[in-house]
Structure formats: structure tokens, C-alpha cells
Structure 1
């Protein structure tokens, strides 16, 4: 799971929409429903069946700017019908392996509107939804999103064996790398998200604690640097598969791996930090973003195992009643407010994959089981899945979302951060 030059792919340009033939292996909503009724613990299955139905309910017919049917973030998203960001990656992974055709369509939709600069839009807002937009719009220049989609492509290829599709995505990947190199390269090495400059929350972590006190500047973020490492790593794999020169990507991946291991890590703490927190101990906190070097596979085995034991499976830090707490429980900045303490199931999923990168099946199983147990408990009580959950096992509706806005409770029926089928599937593989 751990994650040639731009000239190789840039000249290819955007190819025509891919025609995906309907075959018995394409999957269906019925197959997703059937899977929901057999995976995981019996106590989870009513919730999983609800999630399967919610995927279908959140899917709309093809319409500009998409070539295929498109899935929104969930009908309860307060800002309206939206597609993209890292939410769609979680939805894609969730429907695999029962509906790979739908997953592929979402991947193709995701790269369809890549800008000439290489930027892949963050969220694309469509007409309708709770916010009742009357037209399509998105940010074309200053705000991207965490580039996790190549991981979903890798998962799709592993699931279907359709390795030929890599040729369709390689161009988009190289162009996105070029965008990061031109627009998000940090002054001190590594890469950054514009949260530190504009507070547009490009990282996906709105109002995250890391940016409370830091001065503005193009300083390396541990999440952005780990995500770009993944891009280089996968680009090298795809280049070799396509018979292209992978040396540039291999070299850049190796450089970033060393940078992460040495410049974004404090051995005394056994913790990964943003570059400014490495330099200034007063700025060190316990945000969950510190796990991305493990998710990407950039951490050494020694660093990873120490991090897992000291932080991920420590009840005083991230292993809360509903993991993963987005801020370590013992951190003074921990609070029951969106991305500043509450638990997101998508992050529990990535944490589990991080553990599996280093052979820690025990930790992955523990995280998944606790997250699914509490999600099912809250579903039995409320009949919905929530945008995020109470880390101490309380009621999600008592949490704060954004106190300065009119939307100060977690969204209901929010699919984008609830890959619960994927979590149950992964849990079964560890039993």
C-alpha cells in the first residue's frame, strides 16, 4: 500500500473518456448490498446495509462536468451536492470489490476536470442539495485536495486485474506531481498545504490545531510531504509498468523518504511533526496527521512500531473509545470540536492500513473493531451514520462542528468519511 519526468506524460494530454464495458465482473448495487449483509460482525450489518443503500442514494446520473454517474459526499452534507476531495476516494474504496465499475467511474470523474496547471479540484459543487446551488462551481487555482486517488487506482487494479487502466491515469498523476512541484514545494524541503498560508483547509482538516500559532510561510507539512511521497512512489511503479523511465520518480521518492525520516521526526518523542514543530518544541502537539508517514510507508520499521505502540494504540492519545481521536486525548488542545478531537472513520481506516504496512495486524484489528462497534452502536440509537463521532463514546450530536457557523453539529448521512464496508472487509481479513 505504501506509496519519468513531467515531459513524458505532459505531451500526451487528456485522452478521450474511457468506455467501460459492462461485464459480469463490473459489479452492481445488488452485489454491494449482498456484501453488506455478510461482512463483519452481525451487529454491524444493519448499519452496513444502510451504508450500501446510501451509496446508491447519493449517486446521480452523468451530467456536466462529469462523463459518468457521480457520487456526492452524502445527502446530509450541509453545503450541498458536492463531489471530490478525499471523500470520493473513501467512497471508491468502500464500494470495491462489489461494484468496481462504479469505483472506476468515480476515479475517471475525479481526474476529468484537472486544470492545465495540473491542479485536480478539491470539491466540485453541483446544483441542488441542501444548499440548493443553482450552478456548478469549484476553485480553479488555489485549492486542491489530499491526493489519495492513486491509492484507490492501485486498489482497483489489484481487485480487478485491469492493469491496462494505469495508462489512462498516468498522465493525470504526472501532471498533478508537476502542480505540487510548482505550487506546493516548501522552502525548507518537503511540501506544504495552503492551510499555512490561506487557511483554505486544502489538507482536508478544517481549523486543524497545527495552524493555530504557526507564522505564515511555505513550510513543510508532514501530511503534504507524505502524500507527495506517495505520488512519486506510485508514479515510479506506473512508469515501469508502461515501459517509461522511472529514475526521476525513484530519486524523488528516495529523497522525500529520507527527509521524512530525518527532518520531520523527533527521536526523543518518537513522533513525526511538521517542520516548524520539529524546530520549535513549543509548537509540538499530537494531531493525527502525524500518522501519514506510516500510511505512505515512508517511516522506518523502527519509527513505525514505536509510533504505533506509543500513540496509535495508546488510550491516552489516539486509541479513544471511538478511534482515531484527531487530536491526542492528553494534548491540551483536545476538544470536542470538528477535527480537534472527534473521530472520523476514514482516519481509523487509514490508521489500520498504516499498521498493516508494518505487519501490525493486532493494532489494525483493534482500531477497526472499536470504530465499527461504536459506529454501529450510534446507528442503532439514531438510525444514521455521522460525519464524525464522539471520541469518548458519547453522542455525536453533542459535538461541535464549526461554532462560528450556523452548521455546528456533525452532518447526518455523510458518506465521504465513512468507508464502513471497507473497514468491515479489512477487519474480516484479520480474523
Structure 2
């Protein structure tokens, strides 16, 4: 079998062949019940509901119990194209039942402590329909009132957060052998990014910059308002692929495989991000085009992603946290984190252009702990959970995203050009509120 070290010297087209050979080599049967702890489904949900009633502040618990029940309500029996029970994004999602994207990662992490079997099954569902070229479908649209077919786009990817969920499952269960089933899909997904999203020079891009199809998950994000078309390095995509290289290196080593290629690529990307995508003057990370033209720089929350993936230096992270993340005139709004810094001229109460998404606040807060900044983690989690709880008490639901200044979610816009112009209700995909509470409990003093 070719090693990753040899593959490093081959043209890119051969990297796909390498990945396919690894996939064939590492192919195993379906995980046994010994690998995935056998757990009665009802018992798992009961444990989640019990956990929701014992963590965090007492005033948060009605909301957390609601979230636990909503997970159960959103879960359906196995049906094609899934081999396991599957959990939809949330029954209030405007476009009907759907599965996938970074939503399912948030949902899996939310339940993993109390219902690990369900969590890992969602990750198996996630990789089940990986294409031959390595693409993992972004969103899988299930039959609804308007369509009786199952569809997904075979050309558009999505942010590859899913190894986080696999790692969290390992921590909870101690089942390290589970990576035997996820190693090959990870390598193949890296191959897809290498072959389809490699930027000019170093780094990676999302097709937002070319087609405005919002592959990054940030629909109509301000970073792409005035950019020219081109395969230019995006700060988010480059961080995401760095994370995949890191996981591939780690898992290769654990499986006694050569990790030379992945280790080298992760180090190269880290250096590139820390030097070429970072403004020493401003203390912020930017896309490559904004580094070349300062007039295109913005306070989009994606500039904080290097904290999430541990790619920033300690000095860079501390500066980001102290000067921007914890500053109420930037990202530390009443309901943090504003998806666009409040000082930015383009800040507005419209989807991804100002409103706060609990999932993004969670990832940024989780990243802060990597840098020993539990103080920031506590502030962000407490404020976000307090505000979410207040809105739950008023409206009886959880929302797709929230008013960053503490107002009603009904007063923020979704997509003005569409019929649905307010956040969706009962939206689980961006509300890992139980996990957020766990994180808060772990850092509170």
C-alpha cells in the first residue's frame, strides 16, 4: 500500500487513488453492538431528560428539558438513505425535514453524554452517502408535503466539523476503535477538498466566492459582498481543512499508519494562517483578498475561527479574545456572539449579518478553553444561555438565531427576499443548549 509520504510526491490526481486504496484497506464490517454500546432508545432519552434537569442554573432547566424532548421528537426510524435512526434539523425548519450539515454535529454533541449510541449513529448516517470522489453531502432533504423524493447536492460540500463529534463520543465511551470506521471517510473528504477547493497558492476556499451557493454555511455573509471571483483562500475553509489534517494525523498515528503527509500539511497551513491571513496591525484574521485590500476587511465572526481550531498562537488568541470577543462594542453583545461585530458598518439585524447563533457562540467558547481562557468561555455561555432562557419563557420555543442586542427573535430578519423572513422555531441544529450548559458548568467558579 502506498504511504502518505510517497503520496506527497505525486500529482494531485493520484491523491484520490491513494484515498481509495486506504478506503479499501480499512474497510470493515458494520460496527458491532460491542463497539456501540447497546442502549435502549427510551432509556437514552430518559437519561438526557434527567441530565437536562440537573445541570446549569435552575432557571435554564425548563428550556433544557424542552430541548431534550425536542431531540426525541425530531428522531425518526431508519429509512433510506440512512441505516440508523436519523434526527432532523428540527420540526420547525421552514424547508421541511432535513439532515446533515454542521447542524447534525451540534445535535450529536448535545446528546452524546446521555445518549452516546444515538450520537454516533448520526455520524454513521452522515458518512453513509459519501460520494466516490470524497464529498460528504451537505444537507439531505427528506420527503415533505411538496416532494416525495430524497435529494442532495453532489457538488456542494459543507464545513467538516464532524470529527469533533467522533472525538467527543470516544471521550464519553472510551471506545477508541470507532475511528476504524471513520478514518477512511475523513481521508476521502480531505481528497475532495484537495481536488476541488484548493486555493491559488496556499489555503482553501468555499464556492461562496464563485457561485454564491453558501457552501460555507454562512448564507449571504458580508465577506463576499464586494469580492471578485477567484479561487482565493478563505479563512474559514482554510481553518476547516487544517482541522481535518490534524485529525487525519492523529488517527493515522493511533492506527499505526504513516502520518507524515497530514502532519506536514497541517503545519504548513498553520504557518500560512498565522502569518499570511493575520493582520498584526489590527489583531484579526482575514481572507486572503482582504489581506491584500484592507478596504475589503470586515468584522465577520469567521475571523474568530482560528481560536476554534487551535490554529492561532497564544498571543494572537489572547488579543482576539480581549480586544474583540469580550468587547461589547464588537462581538460580546447582549446575546453573544454577534455574527458581525457591532461596530462594522454592515452590522444589521439580518441572518448571519449580525444576529447571534448559539452554535457559533458555543464553538468559539469551546475554542477559548484551548487557550486557557475559561473566563471568556464562562462569560459567553452564561450570557447566551440567560438570553435564550428569557426568550424561551416568553415564546415557548427555541429559535434558529437570536437578536444580538437582547430583543425579540421576531424582530430579526432571515431572508427578506423570501416568504419566510424570521428565524425558524424549534430549530435544534444551531442550539446545542445542553452541551453549552455542560461547558458552562465545567468552567464556572
TM-score of Structure 1 vs Structure 2, range by shorter chain? over 0.9
Contact 2:283/2:320, CA 8 A, preserved across alignment: yes
Task: State whether structure 2 residue 77 is matched by structure 1 residue 61.
Answer: yes
What is aligned with 1:363?
376
Contact 1:196/1:217, CA 8 A, preserved across alignment: yes
Cα offset, 1:189, TM superposition: 1.1
What is aligned with 1:137?
151
Task: Please give the secondary structure, in 2, of the residue aligned with 1:83.
Answer: strand
Contact 1:17/1:67, CA 8 A, preserved across alignment: no
Unpaired runs of 5+ residues, structure 2, are 8-14
Match of 2:49 among 23, 33, 58: 33
Task: State whether structure 2 residue 185 is matched by structure 1 residue 168.
Answer: no
Match of 1:393 among 393, 402, 406: 406
Unpaired runs of 5+ residues, structure 1, are none
Match of 1:207 among 206, 220, 226: 220
- Counterpart CA distance in 2 for 1:363 and 1:325 is 15
How many equivalent pairs are there?
Answer: 425
- Counterpart CA distance in 2 for 1:336 and 1:318 is 14
Tell me the TM-score normalized by structure 1.
0.97
- Counterpart CA distance in 2 for 1:117 and 1:210 is 29
- Counterpart CA distance in 2 for 1:310 and 1:290 is 13
Task: State whether structure 2 residue 288 is matched by structure 1 residue 275.
Answer: yes
Deviations 1:257-302 (A, max 9, x none): 0000001100000000011111100000100011111111110000
Deviations 1:374-422 (A, max 9, x none): 0000000000000000000000011110000111010000000000000
- Counterpart CA distance in 2 for 1:314 and 1:67 is 46
Match of 1:336 among 333, 344, 349: 349
Match runs of 1:201-280 below 5 Å: 201-280=214-293
- Counterpart CA distance in 2 for 1:423 and 1:189 is 34
- Counterpart CA distance in 1 for 2:39 and 2:408 is 42
Contact 1:317/1:330, CA 8 A, preserved across alignment: yes
What is aligned with 1:402?
415
Match of 2:332 among 305, 308, 319: 319
Contact 2:402/2:409, CA 8 A, preserved across alignment: yes
Deviations 1:211-264 (A, max 9, x none): 000011100000000000000001000001001000000000000000000011
Cα offset, 1:151, TM superposition: 1.2
Contact 2:74/2:87, CA 8 A, preserved across alignment: yes
- Counterpart CA distance in 2 for 1:407 and 1:398 is 13
What is aligned with 2:11?
none
Cα offset, 1:158, TM superposition: 1.1
